[in-house]
């Protein structure tokens, strides 16, 4: 900058004359006497004379010496205040963001299922009933037993020689570090003894119904007498993947077994980096 400013008038020297003349000829010397005077001195008479340049053009040099070097760049801004002391070390990168950020980060837990307790209207919202008797929708208020949460529950089984199948498909958020399912189940059966005749499953499968991990394996040999809570953290969080929470059942030809489900939660926890 300073070089340009100083050099300009010198180079223009030869032209400076005509410029000067023009300026004078225009007669308006009233306009900018101080500037013309200065330029005229530099350009026309003195030519490359350093002495003249020094005072006039160097006036701005105040920029070089005082402002740039001493005050702003070196002393105040760069070294002392901004870079070293304040910003880098104390405030932002090291101290606050990283250290404090880690401490302050709170994992976010999101419930992924739509209509997790089966109670939303219209009935069955969010769930896909694949195999069932149309006379007996799987999400129902029918009183095989009272719901864990009213008015609806999922009721699979209870029919001879029949299989039921339903699921809800969700996309697990990217960044999920923990995936947990919890809910309530109940099993009622006409069977007795330890031989298994009827079965029910709750499982996590992929979008092609390939098994990812089982949650519950229920049978006619292990009935319950009340709603029973369950909870499982999946071995993998399946971050970013499309998964299905799938309920199935099979009954043989006699002595029906009913598998009830209610009040689900499928929780994805997105941890801190
Ligand atoms: Ca319910
Ligand atoms: Ca049976």
Q: How far is the CA of 122 from the centre of ligand 1 (A)?
A: 13
Mean pLDDT of 68-95: 39
Please identify which residue in the block is written with the tokens 């090291």. Answer: 94
d(CA 66, CA 70): 5
Give the pLDDT of residue 103: 66
Give the pLDDT of residue 105: 84
Q: Which alpha helices (DSSP H) does the chain contain, by range? A: 2-11, 13-25, 33-41, 50-58, 62, 101-104
Q: How far is the CA of 259 from the centre of ligand 1 (A)?
A: 14
- Considering the domain 110-270, what is its CATH architecture? Sandwich (2.60)
Q: How far is the CA of 23 from the centre of ligand 2 (A)?
A: 112
Mean pLDDT of 175-180: 97
Mean pLDDT of 34-62: 41
Highest-pLDDT range among 23-27, 78-82, 110-114: 110-114
Mean pLDDT of 47-70: 43
Q: How far is the CA of 141 from the centre of ligand 1 (A)?
A: 9
**148: how many CB neighbours lie within 10 A of its CB?**
20
DSSP strand pairing (257-270 vs 153-157) = antiparallel
Of 62 and 213, the one with more pLDDT: 213
Q: How far is the CA of 176 from the centre of ligand 1 (A)?
A: 27
Bridge partners of residue 207, in order along the sequence:
none
Q: Is the pLDDT of residue 110 over 90?
A: yes
Please identify which residue in the block is written with the tokens 């919890």. Answer: 182
- Per the CB < 8 A criterion, the answer to whether 28 and 76 are in contact is no
- Per the CB < 8 A criterion, the answer to whether 185 and 224 are in contact is yes
Q: Is the pLDDT of residue 13 over 70?
A: no
Which tens digits make up the pLDDT trace of 220-241?
999 999 999 999 999 999 999 9
Q: How far is the CA of 140 from the centre of ligand 2 (A)?
A: 21
Give the pLDDT of residue 34: 38
Ligand nearest to the CA of 195: 2
Ligand nearest to the CA of 259: 2
| Residue 11, phi then psi, degrees to nearest 5 | -65, -40
Please identify which residue in the block is written with the tokens 């390939």. Answer: 210
Ligand nearest to the CA of 147: 1
Mean pLDDT of 119-137: 94
pTM of the model: 0.63
Q: Is the pLDDT of residue 273 over 70?
A: yes
d(CA 245, CA 242): 10
Q: Is the pLDDT of residue 12 over 90?
A: no
Q: How far is the CA of 133 from the centre of ligand 2 (A)?
A: 17
> Where are the chain's structural domains?
2-60, 110-270
Ligand nearest to the CA of 120: 1
């Amino acid at each position: 900058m300073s070089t340009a400013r100083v050099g300009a008038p010198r180079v223009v020297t030869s032209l400076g004359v005509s410029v000067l003349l023009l300026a004078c000829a225009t007669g308006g010397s009233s306009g900018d006497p101080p500037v013309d005077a200065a330029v005229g001195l530099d350009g026309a008479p003195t030519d490359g004379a350093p002495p003249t340049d020094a005072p006039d053009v160097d006036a701005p040099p105040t920029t070089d010496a005082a402002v740039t070097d001493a005050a702003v760049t070196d002393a105040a801004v760069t070294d002392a205040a901004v870079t070293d002391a304040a910003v880098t070390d104390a405030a932002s990168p090291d101290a606050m963001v990283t250290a404090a950020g880690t401490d302050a980060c709170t994992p976010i837990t999101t419930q992924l299922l739509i209509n997790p307790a089966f109670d939303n209207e219209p009935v069955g919202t969010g769930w896909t009933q694949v195999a069932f008797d149309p006379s007996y929708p799987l999400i129902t208020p029918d009183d095989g037993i009272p719901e864990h949460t009213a008015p609806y529950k999922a009721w699979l089984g209870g029919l001879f020689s029949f299989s039921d199948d339903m699921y809800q498909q969700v996309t697990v958020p990217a960044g999920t570090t923990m995936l947990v399912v919890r809910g309530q189940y109940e099993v009622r059966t006409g069977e007795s003894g330890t031989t298994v005749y009827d079965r029910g499953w709750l499982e996590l499968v992929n979008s092609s119904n390939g098994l990812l991990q089982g949650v519950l394996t229920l049978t006619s040999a292990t009935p319950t007498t009340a709603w029973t809570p369950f909870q499982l953290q999946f071995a993998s969080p399946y971050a970013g993947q499309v998964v299905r929470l799938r309920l199935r059942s099979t009954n043989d030809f006699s002595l029906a077994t009913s598998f009830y489900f209610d009040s689900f939660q499928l929780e994805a926890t997105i941890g801190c980096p």
